[in-house]
Chains A and B, each alone.
Chain A
Amino acid sequence: MLRYIAKRVLAVIPVLLGISIITFLLMHFIPGDPVRVMLGKQAITEEVIERVRHELRLDQPLYLQYFSWLYYALQGNLGRSFQMNMPVLYLVADHFAVTLRLALFGLLVSMLIAMPLGIVSAVKKDSAIDYVSRVISTLGISLPPFFTGIVLILIFALYLRWFPSMGVSTELFSIDGLRTMVLPSFALGFSSATMVARMVRATMVEVLEQDYIRTARSKGLKERVIIYRHALKNAMIPVTTVIGMTLGYLLGGSVIIETIFAWPGLGMLMVNAVMKRDYPLIQGIVLFFALMFTLTNLVIDLIYGFLDPRIRYR
Chain B
Amino acid sequence: MVKDFIKSKASLLGLIITFSFVIVALVGPSVAPYDPIEMDMVNRLQPPSQAHLLGTDEFGRDILSRILWGAQISIQLGLIAVSIGASVGIVLGLIAGYLRSYVEAFVMRVMDILFAFPYFVLAIAIAAVLGPSLRNAMIAIGVVCIPTYARLTWSQVLSIRERTYVEAIRALGANDLRIMLLHILPNCLAPLIVEVTLDIGWAIIEGAGLSFLGLGAQVPTPEWGLMISTGRNYLAVAPWVATFPGIAIATVVLAFNLMGDGLRDVLDPRIRTARG
Contact = CB atoms under 8 A, between A and B. Distances in A.
Contacts of B249: 144, 147
B130 interface: yes
Nearest to A19: B116
Contacts of A282: 125, 128
Interface string A17-35: 0110110001101110000
B199 to A, nearest CB: 12
Contacts of A297: 116
A259 interface: yes
Chain B CB within 10 Å — which of A15, A138, A142 has the most?
Answer: A142
Given A146-B228, A147-B228, A255-B121, A31 B250 contact: no
A158 to B, nearest CB: 5
B113 A26 contact: no
Contact of B201 (A142, A259, A270): A142
Contacts of A151: 243, 246
A280 to B, nearest CB: 12
B23 interface: no
Nearest to A275: B214
B214 to A, nearest CB: 7
A259 B246 contact: no
Contact of B129 (A26, A138, A290): A26
B52 interface: no
Contact of B261 (A138, A252, A274): A138
A163 to B, nearest CB: 14
- B contacts with A: majority SS: helix
B48 to A, nearest CB: 16
Interface residues of B, number: 47
A291 to B, nearest CB: 9
B117 A286 contact: yes
B103 interface: no
B120 interface: yes
A19 B257 CA distance: 31
A293 B78 CA distance: 26
Given A150-B228, A282-B125, A158 B208 contact: no
Given A252-B118, A252-B119, A286 B254 contact: no
A255 B235 contact: no
Contact of A286 (B114, B121, B130, B261): B121
B43 to A, nearest CB: 23
A180 B235 CA distance: 19
Given A144-B208, A150-B246, A138 B121 contact: no
B178 interface: no
Given A147-B228, A154-B239, A274-B124, A142 B257 contact: yes
B120 A255 contact: yes
Given A256-B213, A286-B125, A144 B243 contact: no
B200 interface: no
B117 A19 contact: yes
A18 B116 contact: yes
Nearest to A158: B236
A146 B253 CA distance: 14
Interface residues of A, number: 47
A193 to B, nearest CB: 16
Contacts of A253: 120
A80 B239 CA distance: 41
Nearest to A15: B116
A150 B117 contact: no
B254 A139 contact: yes
A226 B126 CA distance: 49
Contacts of A26: 125, 129
Contacts of B214: 271, 275
A151 B244 CA distance: 11
Interface in A247-261: 248-249, 251-253, 255-256, 259-260
Contact of A18 (B10, B110, B126, B225): B110
A205 to B, nearest CB: 11
Contacts of A270: 121, 124
A143 interface: yes
Given A286-B122, A290-B118, 7 more contacts: A30-B129, A139-B254, A150-B232, A151-B243, A253-B120, A256-B213, A271-B214
19 contacts: A14-B109, A30-B129, A139-B250, A142-B250, A143-B253, A144-B225, A144-B228, A147-B250, A151-B246, A154-B239, A158-B236, A249-B118, A274-B124, A275-B214, A285-B121, A286-B125, A290-B118, A293-B118, A294-B116
Interface of B: 10, 109-110, 112-114, 116-122, 124-131, 201, 205, 208-209, 212-215, 225, 228-229, 232, 235-236, 239, 242-243, 246, 249-251, 253-254, 257-258, 261
The 7 residue pairs across chains A and B that have the minimum distance between CB atoms: A252-B118, A18-B113, A147-B246, A142-B254, A252-B120, A142-B253, A274-B128
Interface of A: 14-15, 18-19, 21-22, 26-27, 29-31, 138-139, 141-147, 150-151, 153-154, 158, 248-249, 251-253, 255-256, 259-260, 270-271, 274-275, 277, 282, 285-286, 289-290, 293-294, 297
